[in-house]
Amino acid sequence: MDGFLDETCGGVTELRVHGVAGTPPEGTLNHPHPRRVAGDGVTGFHRRWWPGGRPSGDDADVPEQRRREAYAWGGLTSGGWSVALWLPLLPFSLANLSYFMLPRPARGARLRHVTEAAQRLFALLLTGTLVGAVTRAAVDLVGWQCTAAGGACTRDAAPGWLSWLGALWGSEPSKRLAVTALAPLLVVVVLWWPARRTWKRDERTAIPPGGVLRASVPQAGVPRAGVPWAGLPLARPRLWHGGAPVWRLRVVHVAFAFASIGLAVSVPFAGTPRGLALTVANAAVQAAAVVLVLLPWIARRLDPGEEVPRWLTYACRGLRLAAPLVLAATIVLAVAGLGAGAPGRRLPGAEIGALHMALMAGAGGFILLATWVLARMDRPAVPPALGGLAGWFTLMIAAGAAHVLGLGLLFWTATSLGGPDRGIVLGDPVWWTAALVPLLLLGVLAVALALRLIHKAETARLAPRLAHHYGQRHGGAVAGTWALAALTDRAGLVLAVLTGAGVAGLAAVTVIHRFHLFTPAGGVAGLPAATGSWAMAALVAGLVLLGRRTYTDLRLRRTIGILWDVCTFWPRAVHPLAPPCYTERVIPELITRVGRLARTDRDQVILSGHSQGSVIAAALVLQLEPELRRRIGLLTHGSPLRRLYTAFFPAYFGAPALAAVRDAVPWHNLYRLSDPIGGPVFRRVDPLGEGPGGGDGVDRFCWDPPRPRPGQPLPEARGHGDYWLDPLYGEALDRLTRVKR
């Protein structure tokens, strides 16, 4: 190729790791002509290509001396079309997040293990919630109600793609249920297929023979030599290698989903011998899934030398075989005919749904109590978000999102079929849940008002102090920018208000429904229930349209990818059908690359992590061998390490883990008060007190926006981006460079 491209590995390499939104290599390198030198089209390492030939100057690439390299990992979360299918999986991702928010005090190991089992059960019931909603929409509303003899779908105005069911089998409900059960079965297959594909791509990422990571893995129970902090959860190599446990969990969840579909088809005919046998078989599959998901070994990630009981693997293989066979037998026998079925306008089997809801409520209550106890045992140096209960709040948000999506599908389906006016019955519990939506909207408005008042008060506090630096003319504008960025620290308030409103409302409507105080069909409750039903139906329609646009629009995929960049940093610990954890591929690839770039003591790698890239870089440092760490420097900027990760994930990114990173490698962290995401790692430097550059040797404050010259307009604030353009970036890079040429 013409031009110049440095492909050597010796000397000093500034290895940049980008943050959210899938920043392209040209943006990370700040260079218009990137070329990939390692990796593939999904993740890759890129360097600057100079079309005019070998460059000169202090910033140029020089073979065997210095170079700039970028690691692009955004293709894992924002590059592929499958991102369009991830939006309904948000509850599953939140369930995984809640697991890593759980406090991990040394004295509470047994209680934590029981709590983790309850989290796995809760995640399993989330799968049942979404699959159950699709099953009810298809099997109940369409197969049992609408296409029955005399139903809305058998009339002249009914769509042809539905009326044939009633015309053929209007008086044979088992056949109608068997056909409509194919819809939720297709949904389960759609959930299973990407999960399996990404499992093979990410959780099972192969480490090359003799790779750095393979050499760094300790034997079971033996800490790595020279690594006093190897017991930290973030330093365990097994954290990023979950092939076996994710496979076991996936088997359990898919089996549970299959059995829930089978029960919807078989329970109405439990009064017949074949219907009863099918009901018992499907219930046994569900019970086996529940028992397996509660076992402590089912999701355990292992270091080399450790093994799970062999019978557990056999049990999962047996369940993987039994679940589809039982479902296939159910559908085949239903097509052959199971009789008239139980009477009733609604599909029989509501007791099973009530049991699932009771289990979910019981598991949620136990997790709340246990998390509170664990949080009282654990006293981290930095107070965690929501008093250590952030995991429970996140789990409740996951449950709320799952129910909103499920009910939205039900209301959308019922509306498409003609609604209550054409004989479609949903039941009072569904309408009562819909009545909660306006309550949640009021909670959102209350939070917005509170944040507005907080922003106004903080702006008023900062403006007089900033007037000295920026002048009276610009001090107020800068104060408003800084105060707006500080609202990120109120994320706990948003979680608490929304969750509190949802839980309180659910408890209230449960009591009202249980004691039949009044119905949601009219009166005071009628308007909120109707408003909520339309809102949830509109949400489902909006998700469909958004997914369609995401499929074809790369920019929109990158925007939505920001959500997954944060959520899928963490492994699929309790829910295997969530979007994949990119870190399980990223960490091994970075370890291998860093080992190649820093093979001798004459070589050095400066890891430059921006935003989420700083989180990846910090996790990477704790995975490296001591010999390799001596050749590493760390430069983070716009980092959410303390602001978000220490607050919400103290067991993994608490003070001990951050101190371990600081002790392991030379480290500088740049931050701005105009940045809504990044911040200091160890302690906030007061720029109006100490001035820029003060602190503990790691955190370096950057003024933003820069102070304007007399008579000049106020420069635009950079906020969360372009840290490498700040003069302090170059200074920090020079201080970290140990190898001089």
Predicted confidence (pLDDT) per residue in 382-433, tens digit: 888 888 999 999 999 899 889 888 888 888 888 878 777 666 777 777 777 7
Q: 55, exposed or middle or buried, with CB in 10 Å at 0-12, 13-18, 19+?
A: middle
Are 185 and 178 spatial neighbours (Cβ–Cβ below 8 Å)? no
286 pLDDT exceeds 90? yes
pLDDT for 683 equals 77
Q: What are phi and psi of 50, to 5 degrees?
A: -105, 105
Cis peptide upstream of residue 237 (ω within 30 degrees of 0): no
Identify the band that residue 2 occupies on the pLDDT scale cut at 50, 70 and 90.
confident
DSSP string of 332-399, one letter each residue: HHHHH---S----SSPS-HHHHHHHHHHHHHHHHHHHHHHHHHHHH---SSPPGGGGTHHHHHHHHHH
User: 643-674: per-residue pLDDT in tens?
Assistant: 899 999 999 999 999 999 999 999 999 999 99
The CA distance from 272 to 257, in Å, is 24
Q: 428, exposed or middle or buried, with CB in 10 Å at 0-12, 13-18, 19+?
A: middle
User: 129-161: per-residue pLDDT in tens?
Assistant: 999 999 999 999 888 888 887 777 777 666 666
Identify the band that residue 222 occupies on the pLDDT scale cut at 50, 70 and 90.
very low
The CA distance from 50 to 7, in Å, is 12
SS3 694: coil
pLDDT for 217 equals 43
The CA distance from 642 to 649, in Å, is 10
Half-sphere exposure of 441 (CA within 13 A, CB side): 11
How many beta carbons lie within 10 A of that of residue 490, not counting itself? 15
How many beta carbons lie within 10 A of that of residue 222, not counting itself? 10
Tokens representing 305 are 């030398």
pLDDT for 534 equals 78
Q: What are phi and psi of 436, to 5 degrees?
A: -75, -25
% of the chain beyond a pLDDT of 90: 46
225 pLDDT exceeds 50? no
SS3 559: helix
Element (H, E) at 313: helix 310-336
Are 272 and 339 spatial neighbours (Cβ–Cβ below 8 Å)? yes
The CA distance from 488 to 638, in Å, is 13
Mean pLDDT, the chain, integer = 85
The CA distance from 683 to 685, in Å, is 6
The CA distance from 534 to 388, in Å, is 36
The number of angstroms, rounded, from the C-alpha of 384 to the middle of its chain's C-alpha atoms is: 19
Tell me, what amino acid is at 392? W
pLDDT for 482 equals 92
Between 223-227, 438-442, 572-576, 694-698, the lowest mean confidence (pLDDT) is in 223-227
Are 705 and 674 spatial neighbours (Cβ–Cβ below 8 Å)? yes
User: 25-38: per-residue pLDDT in tens?
Assistant: 999 999 999 999 99
pLDDT for 264 equals 94
The CA distance from 131 to 165, in Å, is 22
The CA distance from 51 to 73, in Å, is 25
SS3 4: strand
pLDDT for 80 equals 59
256 pLDDT exceeds 80? yes
190 pLDDT exceeds 80? yes
Mean pLDDT of 108-128: 95
Tell me, what amino acid is at 562? I
More confident residue, 518 or 511: 511
Closest CA to 640 of 15, 20, 16: 20
Cα–Cα distance list, 612 to 22, 49, 455, 615, 638 (Å): 11, 26, 26, 5, 8
Tell me, what amino acid is at 154? T
Half-sphere exposure of 228 (CA within 13 A, CB side): 6
The CA distance from 221 to 639, in Å, is 33
pLDDT for 693 equals 43
pLDDT for 81 equals 60
β-bridge pairing 4-5 and 12-17:
unpaired
Identify the band that residue 692 occupies on the pLDDT scale cut at 50, 70 and 90.
very low
Identify the band that residue 223 occupies on the pLDDT scale cut at 50, 70 and 90.
very low
The CA distance from 681 to 639, in Å, is 8
pLDDT for 691 equals 45
Mean pLDDT of 585-610: 93
The CA distance from 599 to 9, in Å, is 9
Q: What is the 3-state secondary structure (H, E, C) of 647-678?
A: HHCHHHHCHHHHHHHHHHCCEEEEECCCCCCC
User: 38-81: per-residue pLDDT in tens?
Assistant: 988 889 999 999 998 898 888 899 999 999 999 999 888 765 56
More confident residue, 141 or 563: 141
554 pLDDT exceeds 70? no
Are 688 and 469 spatial neighbours (Cβ–Cβ below 8 Å)? yes
The CA distance from 624 to 609, in Å, is 16
Identify the band that residue 694 occupies on the pLDDT scale cut at 50, 70 and 90.
very low
Identify the band that residue 83 occupies on the pLDDT scale cut at 50, 70 and 90.
low
Mean pLDDT of 440-462: 88
User: 230-248: per-residue pLDDT in tens?
Assistant: 578 998 888 888 888 999 9
